[in-house]
Amino acid sequence: MGSRIKLIVLAFVLFAGYSLALNAEVQNVRVGGDIEVRGIWQKDVDLIAEDWSPKVSNFLYQCTRVYVSADLTDNVNAYVRFLNDRFWGTDAKAGETGSEVDVDLAYLTLAEMFGFPMSLTIGRQELSYGEGFLVGDGVSDVYIISGVNTFAYVYGPKKAFDAIKFSYSYENSTVDMIKAKLSEGYGQGTDENLYGINWNLKTDTYGTWDFAVFAKFQNPTTKGRNETVAFSIRGAGEIPQVTVGKLEVKGELVKETGKVDAVSSGTGDTEKLEAWGGYLGVKYTFDNPYEPYINLCYTRMTGDKANTDRIESFDPLYQDEKYGEIAYALLYSGAAYNAKIFQAGLGFKPNEKVGVDLTYYNFDEDQHVTGGSSTDNRNLGKEWDLLISYDYTEDVQFGLCYAVFIPGKAITEALDDLDIDEAKASALLGTVKVTF
């Protein structure tokens, strides 16, 4: 731990010395970051009501981030962000050992290249498009820890990609072309790469649109390789004809094709991928000082049917959508698939500093296959999340969330087959965050 701290201090000293030596070339240096502390209490997150099952777990978690951003000459920017996240009373977070300060982000940006409205960003950076339905989180950071203290850990802050991004902007359009490396195989044929093109179009009348193609290539097999190509159309905007209050609509439709390793056959063959997913949501905000609102959203991602010659299970790629404080970890391990999710919410602001939001989720599988045939017992459960937020100052925010997950028929019948009684899962999350 001490050597890591010395290394970071040395890096800052070298950076400061370099800046002083070349101060004629540095236009501006900014330093900032944030600190967030979370108190987490959970009960029966394994959904088992047996007497021997662990009942309650509680812990404190902290995330600290510090960044340095330097504007250089000729529209060049260098950005570095360091991150440490861990549980109180330990030197590590779930699933890891030892205290670490990670280089969370580290990239350089060349803007206005050759006098044109285009830029190039190279290095470890965040990529997020639309709602994050396909691309938004490049790091899997979800753990289900079982044992004496069973709990679900879903609060990881890392989302970066090792990537190259080229952007071109013209009037109301921006086109991004990306290439990201998710896993390096060092010539052993196990690389995982992401390629993509996203065209963002903003209009005054018809809202904001994204047209995208993303391609994931992963783990070559003996006769081919896993490849997923996703074609996406997304739109979001306000309906201008509504004169009282505000009505917003959003939606995305994704068609996936490609080849997938037929793992179940054990032959090393590949099968054709034919899947689709998407969502449609509406939100109405009333014309009222308390800003009350209601929203509805339906999300579907196809699952693999029984007895077909193709794979129909939707690939969420590098999704950054969160469906419930509890279900997000228990049902999907941080990336939803094979799902029908209905979401309804309402909320209001008692004053300019306080917000109250209540969200309901209903989770169904798109396909549930048992013994080689599809069945109708597809309901995984329901969840209620109540969130209260408070802006103490412009820089300090408090939050309190209470969540309850009620297992559905698909889960209760599976537990009944094992002669196990099910239980509701509940969680309470308190947070305080300062940004500087």
Domain limits for position 286 = 25-434
> Would you state the pLDDT for residue 351?
94
In a domain? residue 351: yes
Q: Which amino acid is at 258?
A: G
241 sits in the region (left: phi over 0; alpha: psi -120 to 50; else beta) called: alpha
Decide if 328 contacts 322 (C-beta within 8 A). Answer: yes
Would you say 201 and 235 are in contact if contact means Cβ atoms under 8 Å apart?
no
Are the C-beta atoms of 394 and 9 separated by less than 8 Å? no
How confident is the model over 388-431, as pLDDT tens digits? Answer: 999 999 999 999 999 999 999 988 888 888 888 888 999 999 99
pLDDT in tens, 78-108: 999 999 988 888 876 655 655 678 899 999 9
CA nearest 140: which of 123, 122, 153, 124?
153
Distance, CA of 403 to CA of 30 (rounded, Å): 38
Domain CATH number, residue 110: 2.40.160.100
Structure-token pair, residue 145: 């820890």
Tokens encoding 143:
């753990």
Does residue 364 fall inside a structural domain? Answer: yes
Is residue 313 in a domain? yes
Residue 5, domain member (yes or no): no
Phi/psi-derived region of residue 134, left when phi > 0, alpha when psi is between -120 and 50, beta in every other case = alpha
* Residue 112, domain member (yes or no): yes
The answer to whether residue 80 is domain-embedded is yes
Across the strands, what pairs with 422? 48
pTM for this model (two decimals) = 0.86
- Domain membership of residue 144 (yes or no) is yes
Under-70 pLDDT residues of the chain: 1-24, 50-54, 92-99, 141-155, 189, 219-225, 262-269, 369-376
The total number of structural domains in the chain stands at 1
Question: Count of residues for the chain?
Answer: 436
Residue 14 resides in a domain: no
Q: Beta strands 293-301 and 270-285: pairing type?
A: antiparallel
**Residues 339-378 as b or e (16 or more Cβ within 10 Å = b):** bbbebebebbbeeeeebebebebbbbbbbbeeeeeeeeeb
